[in-house]
Amino acid sequence: MPARLTVLSGPSGVGKGTLVRALRELAPHVWVSVSATTRHPRPGERDGREYRFVSRAEFEQMIVEDALLEHAEFAGNHYGTPRSPVLKHLAADVPTLLEIELEGARQVRRSMPDARFVFLAPPSPEELVHRLSGRGTESAEAQRARLARAEIELAAASEFDHVVVNERVDDAARQVAELLG
Ligand code: 5GP
């Protein structure tokens, strides 16, 4: 029985990145997939650690080669999960986590229905707006795109097997770690 694949999703700004960092400490046996993206690195991000930062042409080549398990456009950039590292870790029985947005999660549900789907929700919609506006790493236009998308993503929480509310990140990380086993 291969190790379970867990997909963590939730609106931009809800704190998925922070939660995944906490989870790495709580559950170091879990392998976290590194996505490819055409977005530019934010300060402090390193190629191969947070993301593989690729050009649009490289991203399209991965699609042509069917090298992505799922992919989606988000706020003007492309994001995708390289397929073979995920399959390799699952085959080696390593619990595997994808941190992706809603469209990608829906694609994984179609191709790998046995995966476990976890939605990270904000304590309130107002709190999400506050967090997204306060981040300071995005232009006003990018913030607007992320806010619009956040509303759509929030409405999809009921599609997921589990909803974890990110009131305090260490509590939320503990709940996700328990789900991962
Ligand atoms: P950010 O630019 O803030 O790092 O990520 C933007 C959104 O893209 C987040 O919701 C994040 O979960 C999502 N994302 C990151 N990697 C992937 C991926 O490989 N596939 C998909 N579909 N979404 C991703």
- For residue range 111-122, list pLDDT tens digits in order: 999 999 999 999
The mean pLDDT value for 114-139 works out to 86
Which of 39, 74, 84, 166 is the best mutation target for the ligand 1 pocket, counting ligand atoms within 8 Å of the beta carbon and taking the most? 74
Query: How far does the centroid of ligand 1 lie from the alpha carbon of residue 10, in Å?
Result: 10
pTM: 0.93
- What integer best gives the mean pLDDT of the chain? 93
Query: How far does the centroid of ligand 1 lie from the alpha carbon of residue 59, in Å?
Result: 14
pLDDT: is 138 or 113 the higher one?
A: 113
- pLDDT of 13 reads 85
The backbone torsions φ and ψ at residue 119, rounded to the nearest 5 degrees and listed phi first, read -110, 125
pLDDT in tens, 6-57: 999 999 889 999 999 999 999 999 999 999 999 999 999 999 999 999 999 9
Q: Are 79 and 33 in contact (CB under 8 A)?
A: no
Q: Are 99 and 21 in contact (CB under 8 A)?
A: no
The answer to whether the Cα torsion of 24, 131, 168, 106 is positive or negative is negative
Q: Is the CB of 33 under 6 A from ligand 1?
A: no
Q: Are 77 and 39 in contact (CB under 8 A)?
A: yes
Displacement of CA 29 from its chain's centroid (Å): 18
For residue 146, count other CB atoms closer than 10 A to its CB.
21
Query: How far does the centroid of ligand 1 lie from the alpha carbon of residue 67, in Å?
Result: 17
